[in-house]
Amino acid sequence: MEMKKRITLELRNRAPEKVTELVLDNCRSSNGEIEGLNESFKELEFLSMANVELTSLARLPTLAKLRKLELSDNIISGGLEVLAEKCPNLTYLNLSGNKIKDLSTVEALQNLKNLKSLDLFNCEITNLEDYRESVFELLHQITYLDGFDQEDNEAPDSEEEEDEEGDEDDDEDEDEAGPPGEYEEDDDEDDGGSDLGEGEEEEEEVGLSYLMKEEIQDEEDDDDYVEEKGDEEEAEGVQGEKRKRDPEDEGEEDDD
């Protein structure tokens, strides 16, 4: 009774629309249902109700997104057809340790089109002759029965499946991104082009400064030439004046 009260209180305190996984193992059901478990858990993907004394699935709420359902160690003997209506997207169903005896009971699971793994371990049906072959023939959609496929290959763990899916996503991202070396080469080419441009700019700057220096030198040479020419003209003027003064000086001497 205390367990039932605790589970009920826990369900009431949760926001059901946000719950994706729910474990209610060892809780005691009442009249085929657990108080607090209802259709408001619309995002639920995993539900475990092991050893809760379920005798029927008739009062199971509709859980459209549910993919994995654990119902081991209960008292279920039939009525499996309701699963296709209330949990149409189931991929994994564990009914081990229940009261399932014959193939006609399992036949009701044919409408679960997405079902890949079914566990009937410790059910009376497993004592039937050609049990595995008969179930695989009856349920074409399943890949694993009691944890093994038709070639006795063991089913992967849920964590391994998630890792494989993550690796596939990573591979797709790498393919979309392209080879890693491709962009590095482009970067190198861009760097080379930028280096070349800098070199040309340096050459232009050097050439420009060189030309400016030449122009300055030419101007200085022109100034020197003008000064030299002015000095020469000045010297010629002095010599001319001297020549004019010499005859005058000679005349003065004669008068004397």
Domains of the chain: 3-145 (3.80.10.10)
Mean pLDDT confidence for 237-252: 49
CA distance 256 to 252: 7
User: What number of CA atoms fall less than 13 Å from residue 92's CA on the CB side?
Assistant: 15
Higher model confidence: residue 219 or residue 102?
A: 102
Q: What is the rounded CA–CA span in Å between residue 172 and residue 164?
A: 12
Q: Please give the order of strands across the beta sheet that includes 117-119.
A: 21-23, 46-48, 68-70, 92-94, 117-119, 144-145
Q: 110 with 136: CB under 8 angstroms?
A: no
Average pLDDT over residues 223-241: 52
Three-class secondary structure of residue 204 per DSSP: helix
pLDDT reading at 153 higher than 80: yes
Higher pLDDT, 74 or 221: 74
**pLDDT over 70 percentage in the chain:** 56
User: Could you tell me which residues are beta bridge partners of residue 100?
Assistant: none
Token pair listed for 237:
């003027």
| Prediction pTM value | 0.61
